[in-house]
Chain A
Amino acid sequence: MEGAPDEELMLAYKAGNAGAFETLYTRHRARLYRFVLRAVKARAVAEELFQEIWMRVIEARARYTAQARFTTWLYTIAHNHLVDHWRKRGLTLVALDGEELPAAGDPDPADQAQAREALARFAAALAALPALQREAFLLHEESGLSVAEIAAATGSNEEAAKSRLRYAMAKLKAAINDG
């Protein structure tokens, strides 16, 4: 089943094939992990959320239908988990706009080479993005979702998803060009 599409693997897992889940997990683990890590910006929290997302996938297998791409379904679960996480912390998606930058985004220009400075600026720009714009960018860049799929996964419309993605790209491009 190595080359089987995600949807087929998930249906096989639903039918009781644990090996199908292993293939599916191997295929998506790294990208989903990075998506969560860069969304919450803390490794311990990211690991906890990452595990919870996969547990939700396991629990929800009986209700899975191959109507949409598995990736969209997976990142919808991930998005919902992130929203819950932010709500638990008393944060809203809008309030995240001014969150602190990650450690990786605090470069000391005096000690870094030019390339590293550029990368740090990029990381800082990514971390400084409003949460919804960052999520849209990560879903697009890391997970390979189209605008329509981003809209479906985040429960918004295509225009909003396209707008968030466009703003995110513009800010990141500006961070690159600053150097």
Chain B
Amino acid sequence: MADERDPQISQRYRELGTAEPPPALDRAILAAARRATSRHRWYSSLAAAAVLIFAIAIAVQIERRPPEQVPMSAPSAPVSEQAAPQEREAPAATPAKPVPYRRARPDAQFAPEPPARTESTPSAPAPAPTQDANVASPAAGSAADAERKRADEMRAAPQLQSSRVMPRSASRAAQLAEEPPERWLERIIELRRAGRHEEADKQLADFRQHNPSYKVPEAALRAEK
């Protein structure tokens, strides 16, 4: 009821006049509105450019990252111990890797990660296709067959074998060989102190292969005596 207008009141009210804001005031307000939107556009463009640059930078960084960076993060630990936590985080993915790996081994030159890492996965339902696992695996046939296959492949593609199928310990030894000899020996001594003599012996053999003329200290040789 109160929403309805009284025509007499409305008429009289209109007669009071139609005052309007001065044009200068209109111009000032409209100019302020335009300035506000141009600032908005400028900030939006800047933000979009910043996000784009950031995304490109991340993509370039990921592209340049060496594939073996992860295993090198804890070089004193055994390979099986390093790989296990990673694979526990993604248990569903690990069992699927071995199958394409075995089929693609002769020509799979671009695979970034050697699937041999699955060998120590505790939750892996299927045996992993590594050297050791293949020997022990009933699914892969007899141990002799597996060995024969591997030997054939090594003969057929020695380059591929060294870069792709190389066991984790061997590839790690190659990485260690790039370190200064002193550092490598320190690692061997640490293994001896930890009582891991078998591993230390392997490392020492590798060390000698790469540094045949280097004098090995007593602490690194102890188990050999």
Contact = CB atoms under 8 A, between A and B. Distances in A.
Determine which residue in B15, B28, B38 has the highest number of CB atoms from chain A within 10 A of its CB, and name it: B15
B34 to A, nearest CB: 5
A59 B37 CA distance: 10
A55 B8 CA distance: 35
Given A141-B5, A166-B2, A176-B12, A22 B21 contact: no
A25 B12 contact: no
A78 to B, nearest CB: 13
Contacts of B28: 51
Contact of A58 (B10, B21, B36, B38): B36
Given A55-B32, A141-B5, A166-B2, A34 B10 contact: no
Contacts of B8: 173, 176
B22 interface: yes
A83 B192 CA distance: 84
B144 interface: no
Contacts of B13: 122, 126, 141-142, 172
B36 A61 contact: yes
B37 to A, nearest CB: 4
A18 B16 contact: no
B224 interface: no
- Residue from A18, A33, A169 whose CB has the most chain B CB atoms within 10 Å: A18
Nearest to A59: B36
Contacts of A126: 13, 16
A58 B12 CA distance: 34
Nearest to A30: B20
Given A147-B2, A162-B2, A169-B6, A122 B12 contact: yes
Secondary structure at the B interface, as helix, strand, loop or mixed, is helix
A165 interface: yes
Interface residues of B, number: 30
A25 B33 contact: yes
B29 interface: yes
Contacts of A129: none
A104 to B, nearest CB: 8
Q: Which of B5, B8, B26, B29 neighbours the largest number of chain A CB atoms within 10 Å of its CB? A: B29
A128 interface: no
B187 to A, nearest CB: 59
A29 to B, nearest CB: 6
A55 B56 CA distance: 39
A92 interface: no
Interface in B9-54: 9-10, 12-13, 15-16, 18-22, 25-26, 28-30, 32-34, 36-38, 40-41, 44
B30 A22 contact: yes
A169 B9 contact: yes
Given A30-B18, A34-B19, A54-B29, A118 B12 contact: yes
Nearest to A125: B12
B3 interface: yes
Interface of B: 2-3, 5-6, 8-10, 12-13, 15-16, 18-22, 25-26, 28-30, 32-34, 36-38, 40-41, 44
18 contacts: A18-B34, A21-B37, A25-B26, A30-B19, A33-B21, A50-B25, A51-B28, A54-B29, A123-B16, A126-B16, A141-B10, A165-B2, A166-B2, A169-B9, A172-B12, A173-B8, A176-B9, A176-B12
Interface of A: 13, 16-18, 21-22, 25, 29-30, 33-34, 37-38, 47, 50-51, 54-55, 58-59, 61, 104, 118-119, 122-123, 126, 140-142, 146-147, 162, 165-166, 169, 172-173, 176
